[in-house]
Structure 1
């Protein structure tokens, strides 16, 4: 029987890779970076055989021509490589991934599958920092958090619980890490609803999201110009409360929120917290450790790192 041995939640931002020289709050930035290293060490100490990475995709692997609520990479996994993140083929365990997909279907979560999945910094940021120097194969699980209608948060909680059951049902006695990438609070300069863009920038973004398959790099420079020109909007009080609830093992209550509730409290980028809820549910909402919280307006994001270790795992 396989089992989950550690869970990690960590914010991501490509601006961390490309805009370090723009940082004013250097101490906050270093605290977050150091916490990523501490989380990486917690993963290494648990000695997992495989890592399930739950993250989002910022329209570099999925486009508006088709975006399932949940997609599991069961074959080739390719990093998009934007903004100095890992590029090209990633180490995988296709046998485990396909068994996981089958078990999730049996448990009642109808995940889509991809035999050639392109992931972006919504997943590769975790590979770059949380798995640095570790030769661990990955199984990416992509949650749609940007193209409405979004999966309900309680469905993400159920997905996490089903991941735990599915892992236990898979033979081979593997140890599994579950890594969540995304959040915390932030507001992206994207259309409030892709179906109703306003202004040239929003119309450009919707065009890129619809037509980017096989050609996403053509749109990327202007996309990044729109992002880097955005006014930072963070919600530190929400972020600190969320991380305090992680420490108390009380993240399950966020499963009752609607998408509208979450956006009001944490911005449209806060929808990525579905990844943390899914991870925490897979760890049965055990109390965790808040390793760092750094509100980083230079990266447009409240940056946090937390670790959950099941009972018996030090």
Structure 2
């Protein structure tokens, strides 16, 4: 459904270009949940937002993103407007605050529907009521302003708005980061429900929490400092991680039933590099416990080490 090749998305600043997404390649298959993980600042949100709407200072510097035969990087604003929310949609980060506070939910939905050529408001409002019921919200929510809803209710209302036109590909960007664990579970169940009922076909789920991806994703891509460091099936990434960064990410997760005195959490030493002036070689070498002489000098290639499992690391010969 989506093929991204050598994509470069930079931010133009007075100090130069911030290389937030630098030569990233991956694909999303129809019917799958594709997870993207990495710590804050790794480029995952920039990557997915570039597929929906490129706004200054974001600049496309190269590469392509082929979605249903069209290169998203070459579409005009008008062409983008036609497919946004209808073919490809997003539940944005901080989505609890994404809805226009001056409009009722039904008016927000109607504005969206009109933009895509719908003319029967009654039909749209009936569909809205059905979707609200799906996400366990009263139909009265349609007549309410976002400020009248709790955080969890606003999250679900935003999910309804983002999926009302049945997009083929839905991007969920850090949709669970500000929620308690009970509401997180509700959100994950709703996303699964949307997919099982063909409201959406494929899902890109962006998070820093690998434990969540273990429950929902078919495949996972790990990003660090604007680069892809590992891609594989969820079981390969979680049970058999091969990149040092992936191993350290997993090692920093708390485990249920284990007291901190039994096993201390292991953080990742050091700090992420500046993407204004990234090093020539591997971008993780300054924090890697396995650093070799070649690491600062040459960037590792993403190579396949087993069926469907790709790693960019000199430990695996990715020269």
Structure in which a larger fraction of residues adopt helix:
1
Q: TM-score with structure 2 length normalisation?
A: 0.29
Relative CO higher for 1 or 2, CA cutoff 8 Å, sep ≥ 6? 1
Q: TM-score with structure 1 length normalisation?
A: 0.29
In our comparison, the structure showing a higher alpha carbon Rg is 2
